[in-house]
Amino acid sequence: MTDTPLTILLLEDQALVRAGMRALIQISEPHARILEAASYEEAILRAEAEPIDIAFLDIDLRDARSGMDFLRWLRAKELDTRAVMLSGRVEKEVVLACLNEGASGYIVKDMDSDGLFRRALDTVFQGSIFLPASVIGRGGFSPAQPAVPSGVSPESLGVTGRSLEALYYVCQGLPNKAIARHMGIEEGTVRKDYLPKLFRIFNVVRRTELLIEVSRRGIAIPAPAQLADIAR
């Protein structure tokens, strides 16, 4: 649960699926404003009209343009919207492709039960990154979805202050240029200072691996507005 009501966009072209997802989201976030879109064009209109906190995007729309296209539009506009992809596909290559485009989560729509789907939603609303077991599982694909982890504090890993702020924006899926703008620093500082430091802490070499590690460890990243009391 969050202190401030979220504005959520749900891009899904099947009305019954959309209604079911809306009901599950309302259970996890009863005060959220949920905006619905059945097409890429409708989603654009919604996002241009007001800021969106989290967008749940179906990548399998029966249309010329999909949720992936809308994700690219979000990132081209450098919007702060967290994009969580929805799909019936669990292939690792598909999930990684979404992460490479700037997604900050991936939920498989046909999970075994509403309870599992709700746990995935709760992970997202707690500020963590949800990814399927095909990506975060050790030893390759596992058909079982991971349970919501208890969570690890980023501070316990040595991620504090400005590095924590940078990690937040990376987990939002923002490119280096947008991260630099938000932090009021040069793009080169993001690329040469903050990212290498985060890669060393998490023992990874690229952004997608960083997101996977954040998901695997169940780390919730506080928004910059919540960092005022963190010593820098």
pLDDT tens, position by position, 114-154: 677 888 899 899 888 999 888 886 433 333 344 444 567 88
Domain 7-136 - what CATH class? alpha beta
Burial class (CB in 10 A: 0-12, 13-18, 19+), 7: middle
According to the model, what pLDDT value does residue 232 have? 46
- Tell me the CATH architecture of domain 154-226: Orthogonal Bundle (1.10)
Strands (E), 121-181: none
According to the model, what pLDDT value does residue 112 have? 60
DSSP 175-206: -HHHHHHHHTS-HHHIIIIIHHHHHHHHT-SS
Low-confidence ranges of the chain (pLDDT < 70): 1-3, 111-114, 137-151, 226-232
Backbone angles phi, psi at 220, to 5 degrees: -100, 125
Contact by Cβ (8 Å): 36, 59: no
Contact by Cβ (8 Å): 217, 159: no
According to the model, what pLDDT value does residue 227 have? 56
pTM: 0.85
Rounded Cα distance, 216 and 12, in Å:
27
pLDDT tens, position by position, 163-176: 999 999 999 888 89
According to the model, what pLDDT value does residue 71 have? 96
Residue spans of the domains in the chain: they are 7-136, 154-226
According to the model, what pLDDT value does residue 83 have? 96
Strand order in the sheet with 33-37: 33-37, 7-11, 54-58, 82-87, 106-108
Alpha carbon of residue 119 to chain centroid: 15
